[in-house]
Structure 1
Amino acid sequence: MPKKSLEDLGESAIESVPYLASDEKGSNYREASPLEADNGKGKIEKHTVKPWVHFVAGGIGGMAGAVVTCPFDLVKTRLQSDVYRSVYKSNVTTTATTNGLKVLQLTKNAAVHFKETFGIIGNVYRQEGFRSLFKGLGPNLVGVIPARSINFFTYGTTKDIYSRVFNNNQEAPWIHLMAAATAGWATATATNPIWLIKTRLQLDKAGTTRKYKNSYDCLKSVVRNEGVTALYKGLSASYLGSIEGILQWLLYEQMKHMIHMRSVERFGNLNEGQKSTQDKIKEWCQRSGSAGLAKFVASILTYPHEVVRTRLRQTPTENGKLKYSGLIQTFRVILKEEGFASMYSGLTPHLMRTVPNSIIMFGTWELVIKLLS
């Protein structure tokens, strides 16, 4: 092996300095971000995403998911309501089984739920027409676009702020938790009136019994007959439901980190521009799928709040008496009159809607961020 001159050794030492840093700051551990780019000097720079980009991308992603999955949202809302409980009576059996038959029984019930969900969609189409499958889409879009915009904007912004102020510019699970909680509370407060109108429209029967002509008529009727404060019915359940959003963001961030670390092991310090199109698409699908899986787990763990929220937003009876007047009271009434199983009414169409919705929404969000950045 030829001997190196003192000058060559000096140059080698200078070149090796960037790699003497800790693993956390080493080039192989840079965040795998679609916004990383080679600056032409052999170094990879990470560009900060501007808050307005999160706002726009979140709105577009939410709109795409809402349009595609609207029929499932309609079925979910009706199954959650006691108004349609007798109309859409489930054939799922709840008889006691031995341990050996539990898996078979669960599989059978899941198949029945899927069949019934599509059966309800078919009945709505035949009896109320194709447009009825998209009842509540107007307020849904009016709500989804600002809701997702506010959620992604607040989460991204507060995550940066919390990281900078409390954790020396470093992300951590507890930072994600704080940001997700802030985003959930801000979104619920800002958009509750829109979701109340959407729920009322989806529970409104077609034909001669129809109460509301459109979203504006529903808004006027609620304010005139029940007062402005009625627009915030179900807000307490929405705050409780922010736990679902917190869990989803936490799980999504952890799974995204795992995907990133696997990418680092495979590609080292390559930036996005040096990867093949196939690898980019594969990682994008993995991240989008992670959003769907995170939503699936979070929804199952926190679903009862959805049923309670729908009951709180129902139209009062003809005599104006409220059957469901508060969060705890609603939980008690449902458990007493209908049993614990009713706390999961509409779960199947909910999962059939929210899981692909999350995949579409987060996937679109990431693509729009790439385009706008």
Structure 2
Amino acid sequence: MTKKKPSLEDLQEEAIESIPYLGSDEKASTQRYAQQLPREKDEETVENHPNVKPWVHFVAGGIGGMAGAVVTCPFDLVKTRLQSDIYQSIYKSKVKSATTMTSNSKILNSIIQGGTHFKETFGILGNVYKREGFRSLFKGLGPNLVGVIPARSINFFTYGTTKEIYSKAFNNGQEAPFIHLMAAATAGWATSTATNPIWLIKTRVQLDKAGTTKKYKNSWDCLKSVVRTEGIYGLYKGLSASYLGSVEGILQWLLYEQMKHVIKRRSMRKFGHEGNKTTADKIKEWCQRSGSAGLAKFVASIVTYPHEVVRTRLRQMPKENGKLKYTGLLQSFQVIMKEEGLASMYSGLTPHLMRTVPNSIIMFGTWELMIRLLS
């Protein structure tokens, strides 16, 4: 018995009846396939420390800042003295004389300059130790800690909180470079305004000469003297340069976030979820993130360093006749460039990098660690 061949109408009816099943099957298949694929977009936006409470940022930032400040205080002393014109005759650089004796090779001269700067930095540390004693290496540590702990607490707290607020308000809860930029700028301005008096006292104490010419007994005596002779306004000298210096913090946060993002993506591709990592892998990633903070600080410092010199000059104590040599941001730039040249805008860069790079590694590493412990 031969089977009846289906007509065209029968085939059309069967096709129409099968469409819902095909659609359902395709949808189910697509959903199953999507579940198996790595969700790259979600992975990219996952934070290392999701849902961190604001107080955790505040405490962790303060502890991180304190750890970095104590370890690197001697380099901060050398940097401040080299930035000031008061100590220029005492610590006269031999970099120029060293380079003129060599060939015209720019690479060779750069290497010699770098080596001479490092040698001079440790030479100044040894000189301070011999002439003023071991405790002098930590001059200004008191106001430095008083300034660093709230400064880092405010900075990390403001950055973490405003980053969350801005991302929800402007980018549907997702992070992006412009969100990091806005949060870093807010954190920098808030920190500079709140802590400028502390940094002014620290600078004055570090520039105070030892021996019979010493003017301040301690940080408290310096504070009273500034308020008595220069008024409350005197505590905010250098604030304009500090606002300019917030560009350094903004650049550092942007670079750090981008490098951390690259480390996170690479980790997700290699391990998948956090649970697949060994303790050694987690320590390695923590070291990579801490190193990224140091590298970000290195780049940001080189780009924005001249503001450091101007800020130090603005915070110097007035001359004996009470006259101020440096009265404003632009005026300070003009005077320094005219009298000392462009090279002076980078005075103290070597000890600054020797201090800030390891300081950032210690500070951000401690911050990461404390956030994990406190969360």
Q: Which residue of 2 aligns with 1:178?
A: 182
Equivalent residues in 2 for 1:55-94, closer than 5 Å? 55-93=58-96
How far, CA to CA, are the matches of 2:182 and 2:47 in structure 1?
Answer: 23
**Which residue among 258, 262, 267 is the counterpart of 1:263?**
267
Equivalent residues in 2 for 1:77-156, closer than 5 Å? 77-93=80-96, 101-156=105-160
The 1:213–1:277 alpha-carbon spacing in structure 2 relative to 1, beyond 3 Å, is same
Q: Which residue of 1 aligns with 2:356?
A: 354
The 1:51–1:109 alpha-carbon spacing in structure 2 relative to 1, beyond 3 Å, is same
Shift of 1:264: 1.3
Q: Which residue of 2 aligns with 1:31?
A: 46
RMSD: 2.1
Q: Which residue of 2 aligns with 1:307?
A: 309
The 1:57–1:296 alpha-carbon spacing in structure 2 relative to 1, beyond 3 Å, is same
Q: Which residue of 2 aligns with 1:43?
A: none
The 1:60–1:350 alpha-carbon spacing in structure 2 relative to 1, beyond 3 Å, is same
> Does the 8 Å contact 2:117/2:350 carry over to 1?
yes
Q: Which residue of 2 aligns with 1:238?
A: 242
Q: Which residue of 2 aligns with 1:369?
A: 371
Amino acid at match of 2:46: E
Higher gyration radius (CA): 2
Deviations 1:38-82 (A, max 9, x none): xxxxxxxxx400000000000000000000000000000000000
How far, CA to CA, are the matches of 1:66 and 1:11 in structure 2?
Answer: 58
SS at match of 2:268: helix
Q: Which residue of 1 aligns with 2:23?
A: none
**Which residue among 166, 184, 187 is the counterpart of 1:162?**
166
Amino acid at match of 2:267: S
How far, CA to CA, are the matches of 1:119 and 1:228 in structure 2?
Answer: 38
Deviations 1:126-157 (A, max 9, x none): 00000000000000000000000000000000
Shift of 1:100: 6.9
How far, CA to CA, are the matches of 2:321 and 2:241 in structure 1?
Answer: 25
Which structure has more helix as a fraction of its residues? 2
How far, CA to CA, are the matches of 1:287 and 1:365 in structure 2?
Answer: 11
State the identity as a percent.
Answer: 76
TM-score (norm 1): 0.90
Shift of 1:23: 3.6
SS at match of 2:105: helix
SS at match of 1:168: coil
Gaps of 5+ in 2: 1-25
Q: How many residues align?
A: 350
How far, CA to CA, are the matches of 2:101 and 2:52 in structure 1?
Answer: 53
How far, CA to CA, are the matches of 1:113 and 1:288 in structure 2?
Answer: 26
Deviations 1:220-242 (A, max 9, x none): 00000111100000000000000
Q: Which residue of 2 aligns with 1:319?
A: 321
Q: Which residue of 1 aligns with 2:15?
A: none
The 1:173–1:11 alpha-carbon spacing in structure 2 relative to 1, beyond 3 Å, is closer
How far, CA to CA, are the matches of 1:93 and 1:226 in structure 2?
Answer: 38
How far, CA to CA, are the matches of 1:159 and 1:101 in structure 2?
Answer: 47
How far, CA to CA, are the matches of 1:30 and 1:276 in structure 2?
Answer: 23
